[in-house]
Chain A
Amino acid sequence: MSRYFDFPDFPADQSSAHVSVPRNELTLICLLAITDCYKKQVKAARPNSACHRNRRINVGDGVAIEARDVSKIFGTSTDQEVWALDHVSVSIAQNEFFTLLGPSGCGKTTLLRLIAGFEHPTDGAILLEGEDISALPPFQRPVNTVFQNYALFPHMTVAQNIGFGLEMQGRPKDEVADTVGAMLSLVKMENLKDRRVDQISGGQQQRVALARALAPRPKVLLLDEPLSALDLKLRKEMQLELKRLQHETGITFIFVTHDQEEALTMSDRVAVMRDGEIHQIGSPQDIYNRPNNRFVADFIGESNFLEVQLLSRNGSTAKVRFANGTELDATLPSTDVTSGSITVIVRPEHARLTADRSAGHLQGVVNDAVYFGTDTHYYLTLDGGEEFVIRQQNQRGDRGKISSGTQVGVTINEDSIQVLAN
């Protein structure tokens, strides 16, 4: 795919420096090509259109950002030391939508600020396309940031804000104007270009912040909880918008959020962080279906935690015995698990109620049933005393919900039990 951001003057693209098409024209051609391609894809809604295939090839072509054994300690005296990052290593592929997910104070924003250059690592290195950039100031890194509260310049218009980075790079005036125009149309803000930033809405400010950060064609775009200030409806819109922008520009996005839903819906890969450490890196499906440990399982989605006995292992699966004696297959995590008493999780939607107690894998009593429209949540107490939640999709023909106090059996879907690392 002819990406918008592949420019003859782009330092990484020395090979294409001989292209004789004037830069501004090239900008337009590329932009048109992308938009066209994108439209076609949307119309046809075929996952295997040219756009999609090329994009697939592009992802993973090379490493965009690598954090190598990075630690960041705040506070000077030893008793006040805070390890914001504790020997973190992660490598993010080119054109990837990578999300750092975790509760506040987990170090995700610190990692972002280290990549942007606002902080410098206490230990370890940050590499951009294989080059150590740890010591470079922010204004010398081809990395731009979309700030949590946008940080738009209040004394400038929308267009001036978007053109700021290009002007600071010393680009010629007409190139700045052209790129600003292209950016305005990319984020659909052409008619508001002369407004002051305090005269536009939060969602529009968000778009301007995006356009401002994208305009200088960074190699990596950092997004620091950019959607947290928006209301729910706008947030959903912007999630799609961000995916579209990433798709159209082909830039590596590193997205920081504490919202698990945002992380799951938007990312190619997610890194779950806590207390300055990365607990798991994987695709949204991996993170949700195969959480490594209790924290990841608890932080993302709802989980039922059950204590079981590990009987035997067979490659990536194991045989486990529940408290009531039932023996089932479970998936082992990537990290090693000791034998004996272990914890497994079952997602609420991966289990079903059965009226016949003895037919189920587990037995219990319904405490409460809450109707949610699309599905009903059943809160159970198992015979062993553990709490258990089942989420069951509602059908038109359902004969009403099962009332509390009913003795029921629980059937767990095949391949739905995940062993947690201890």
Chain B
Amino acid sequence: MAEIGQSPLRASTPIGIGAKAAIAAEKRELKTRWLLVSPAMVIIGLAGVLPLSIILFYSFMSPGPYAGVSFEPTLRAWVFLILEEDLFEETLGLNYAHISIFSRSIGLALGTTVLTLIVGFPTAYFIATRPLRQRNFWLFMISLPFWSNLLVRTFAIMMFIREQGFVNHVLLYLGVIDKPLSIMFTPTAVWIGLVYAYLPLMVMPLYASMEKLDFRLIEAAYDLYASRWKVLQKVIIPLVKPGIVAGSILVFIPSIGAYVTPKLLGGGKSLMLGNLISNQFGTSRDWPLGSALALFLMAMVMIALIVYVRNESGKSAHG
């Protein structure tokens, strides 16, 4: 803000004579800036801050008799995040269903991040090493699925991995398996779906940092007796680390809150946090618990982001 605020006028005006005019100009500029920013502020306020405040408020209320909330303050929703009431003894115990959903969500999000990294790294390297004109083509191919709806893409994956799907047909034909694999409605199916959905989010930042990579450094490393594996380990990975971190964050965050993919591919047994939250607002009619869960998810995303920002700022402070 500070450097934008300094108008070129002010810099070139002699101190004293034009100072008043310069201050006035700066004030005008400040006003214009506020005017320009205000639509965004209104949208953020109405669509972001306000609903979040309502959710925060709801999470401290009791559930209403037919959905909604009754305005009696309580910590019940936050307690029920990981605990549950025993129906008969009215004592509190760990809610294993919730804990398994949390761990599955985190596990699948981490798994997705790792697999997209493994698949995306060579892909991004391949694109970055193409001649300049071909790169845009490959990037377009990578981002092509992104232009279609997530729902459509998820259905496409379903067609692929279902019992009578392409994958099973090919594997049966090749004789790798003798009876069709049932991948659908398992965490594996969700995993595959998430990797497919978020791969472009990994490839793009990886490509961005690989494109900046000076390939003469790789030649220099080869020249200095580094084998291909050592070049990757000692030169390429340290230099594209910002891309790896950015891609991992970009994949982890939407993965942990995924809703459509686990709903369609995971069936009832592979629920993730997103589905659990939606259930609270739907069939379970427990809005306060849904609100608390939503905030819990947001907290996890925030933690991931803070770790990322810390990592980045630490690096730039060092540099």
Contacts and interface: CB of A to CB of B under 8 A. Distances in A.
B224 A164 contact: yes
Interface string A203-216: 00000000011001
Contact of B238 (A144, A155, A164): A155
Contact of A151 (B220, B234, B319): B220
B222 A137 contact: yes
Interface of A: 116-118, 137-140, 143-145, 147, 149, 151-155, 164-165, 168-169, 196, 212-213, 216
A151 B216 contact: yes
30 contacts: A117-B222, A137-B222, A138-B219, A138-B223, A139-B224, A139-B225, A139-B227, A144-B224, A145-B219, A147-B220, A151-B214, A151-B216, A151-B217, A151-B220, A152-B220, A153-B220, A153-B221, A153-B235, A154-B217, A165-B224, A165-B225, A168-B221, A168-B224, A168-B225, A168-B226, A168-B227, A168-B230, A168-B234, A196-B319, A216-B225
B212 to A, nearest CB: 11
Contacts of A149: 216
A118 B214 CA distance: 15
B54 to A, nearest CB: 47
Given A145-B220, A147-B216, A139 B238 contact: no
Contacts of B217: 151, 153-154
Contact of B226 (A116, A139, A145, A152): A139
Contacts, number: 61
Interface of B: 214, 216-217, 219-227, 230, 234-235, 238-239, 319
Contacts of A168: 221, 224-227, 230, 234
- For the complex of A and B, 3 pairs with smallest distance between CB atoms: A165-B224, A151-B220, A168-B225
Contacts of A153: 217, 220-221, 235
B216 A154 contact: no
Contact of A169 (B221, B222, B225, B235): B225
Nearest to A199: B319
Given A137-B222, A168-B230, 20 more contacts: A116-B223, A118-B223, A138-B219, A138-B222, A139-B225, A139-B226, A139-B227, A140-B225, A147-B220, A151-B217, A151-B219, A153-B221, A153-B235, A155-B239, A164-B226, A168-B221, A168-B224, A168-B226, A213-B224, A216-B225
A153 to B, nearest CB: 6
B223 A139 contact: yes
Nearest to B227: A139
Contacts of B214: 151
Nearest to B214: A151
A205 B214 CA distance: 16
B226 A147 contact: no
A46 B238 CA distance: 51
Nearest to A212: B224
B36 to A, nearest CB: 37
B235 A118 contact: no
